[in-house]
Amino acid sequence: MNIRPGVPYPLGATYDGTGTNFALFSSVAESVELCLIDDNLAEERIKLTECDNNVWHCYIPGIIPGQRYGYRVSGPFDPAAGHRCDRAKLLLDPYARAIEGEVQNSNSVYSYNFDNPDERNTEDSLGSTMLSLVSSPFFDWAHDRPPGHDYHELVIYEAHVRGLTMLNPDIPEDIRGTYSAIAHPSTVEHLKELGVNALELMPIHQFVNDSSLKERGLSNYWGYNTIGFFAPHNAYSSDPRSSVQEFKQMVKALHDADIEVILDVVYNHTAEGNHMGPTLSFRGIDNASYYRLVDEDKAHYFDTTGTGNSLLMRSPAVLQLIMDSLRYWVTEMHVDGFRFDLASTLARQFHEVDKLSAFFELIHQDPIISRVKLIAEPWDVGEGGYMVGQFPVLWSEWNGSYRDTVRDFWRGQFSTLAKFGSRLAGSSDLYQDDGRKPMSSINFVTAHDGFTLNDLVSYNEKHNEANGEDNRDGSDNNLSWNCGVEGETDDPEVLNLRMRQRKNFIATMMVSQGVPMISHGDEVARTQGGNNNVYCQDNEISWMSWEETDTSSEMFDFTKRAIRMRREHPVFRRRRFFAGNPQQGGESERGEIEWMNPDSSHMTAESWDAAYARTLMFYLNGLAIGEPDDMGNRIVDSDFLVLMNAAPEDIEFTLPPQEYGKSWTVCLDTDEQHVDTDFSAGDKICLRNRSVLVMEHTREEGEDAPTVSVEKVLPPVHNE
């Protein structure tokens, strides 16, 4: 075989049309063998002789896409010193663009014997582990371009590739649960009709299916167990050799529909687990360079993820891996942004969480990554890891405080009104002091982790028996309310109340400043039967039903109308926080928002802090959005009134006097009693218990808006 020296960068297997360059980093390897593997799993081992700056490399003409390969690394095996090289294990290329197969539950992939963990296991893992594949970088993107939506324009839809598509009868059975199913016209049309413009996919990087789950007939459904940071998960494609092409075709189809693609990425740990985990890739290549080890005992891993290990965020090799991976997904795969799982771990350069860590510095200075959507899950399981409101200015965050406060308000908890007002206004108490804007807050009520929206209003307790852990797994702090009956019921009053509650949550998100995110299936009242931790349920418990019912149709129609209202009216999606500092007083030129009691009097500090307050009305001034459009013209919108009643009884609201608007038209009503009804200034409206009413006033020519005091602008600040 004609083997040439090749080049040390880029890392991975790079096909150029005539041959492939192979490059692997290892600072501890004494020798590295490239293993080319045929259809019968016979391997040809090529000892690499070129090594520059700890990168072992070669170029082989004639090696084309589809070629299986792996590495064997010879070097120190000294766990106490942090080294675990093991030539007996065929290792995945950390930069593999495509991966074939899955890890088998075999002792051969472990470097110790199950019967005696202190004894080395030298069994060859070939045949029991995944294989790297050379992939083609060539694809006809035609005129593909990123939709480029501004943050404030986004409506995010979080979904799972299989969960969204497995039960869709319009998709051919043989492609359900794949990237091609997401690209299928029925899926795209559903998203377009709903009105979302960003699809946030749960992990699609190649991950490992946990053997202990497989033994119980379950699986790692969510996919937070990454082993390949460059490879699309092969089970979501028709063939591992075409996984890259199928993923690109999906992105292209979504872009054609003006929908951005955001990936949920797991750069905080890998699937190799703790010191008792398998040797699949990083551990056998250069364990101490990739993983954070316990300082006093390097045989064990420092773990802030709850998965057994954490990547070493001060290691140049790790930082390069993450940055190269992010750039690859943007430049080669055309994705539009990332949601970073357990992002606080990425900030742990040392033991503490530091938002100025090397990782964030690299992100901020990178000309490619700094320009895409960056969303943090701002917590991990380590000490001091809850960082909501503390990420740098380029970042948005899943706002856990928004989720908890909105849930509490609508389940009728007392003393939550002021916090609720802060969340509606964009959570300025969390973000404004650092120079951040409302787009920093990703406003969500439900996500993959926890109850669905339907189950949030149907269960007081989790029901995770199907997970096989005696209902011990999953959170016990659901902040849910079953509306009087646990689980399924035929009681029409309970069903009507649950429908209102689901709509209340959707309406609240759509009138809140920030970026709304809904979880797939919430728009059709998807249920998981009270299971709040379906991480292992790759079946109808977690999949979205596409069966049309009266409930699903009504919920879909309401969600669609609420999203359309938000997208058509910039008053609900401001780029900046409302003007004024409520602690300083003074007069503002224009009132951007006014908070009112049900009798239309302005809220006072006593109103906000009233222990039993569960009602709210606020006015949004369409003339005072406070920012120009893309052409530099002043943005002018309609005025809106939003009435909210979380009390268990009907409440009478009095509309404000005519200087706020002579007439009002109902455009959203979670009780569906007043849709398209007109009201006049000063009218009294009996608002149904636990319901929301949104009304629009189209200002007549020459009609002005009132001047208001700054004290009326914002609710009291509640620092979390």
Q: Are the CB atoms for 21 and 52 separated by under 8 Å?
A: no
Helices 316-331 & 358-365 angle (0-180, nearest 10): 30
Query: Alpha-carbon distance 698 to 617, whole Å?
Result: 18
Catalytically annotated residues: 341, 377
Query: Alpha-carbon distance 377 to 388, whole Å?
Result: 8
Tokens of 156: 């995010």
Query: Alpha-carbon distance 591 to 602, whole Å?
Result: 13
628 φ, ψ (degrees, to nearest 5): -85, 165
DSSP letters for 604-667: -HHHHH-TT--EEEEEE-TT---SB-TTSPBP---EEEEEEE-SSS-EEEEPPPGGG-SEEEEE
Tokens of 568: 């058509």
How many CB atoms sit inside 10 A of residue 142's CB? 8
Closest CA to 658 of 703, 616, 617: 703
Tokens of 141: 């993107």
Q: Are the CB atoms for 330 and 372 separated by under 8 Å?
A: yes
Query: Alpha-carbon distance 632 to 630, whole Å?
Result: 6
Q: Are the CB atoms for 188 and 249 separated by under 8 Å?
A: no
One-letter amino acid at 434 equals D
Q: CA distances (Å), 397 to each of 39, 196, 382, 481, in order?
A: 46, 19, 18, 26
Residue 201 half-sphere exposure, CB side, CA atoms within 13 Å? 26
Query: Alpha-carbon distance 617 to 402, whole Å?
Result: 19
Residue with tokens 């593909």: 144
Q: Are the CB atoms for 389 and 353 separated by under 8 Å?
A: no
Closest CA to 381 of 345, 341, 352, 356: 345
Q: Are the CB atoms for 462 and 478 separated by under 8 Å?
A: yes
Q: Which helix (H) or strand (E) holds 163?
A: helix 161-165
Closest CA to 664 of 673, 655, 672: 655
Using CA atoms of 448, 451, 453, 457 in order, give the dihedral in degrees to the nearest 10: -170
Chain-centroid distance of CA 257 in Å reads 21
How many CB atoms sit inside 10 A of residue 22's CB? 27
Query: Alpha-carbon distance 493 to 119, whole Å?
Result: 65
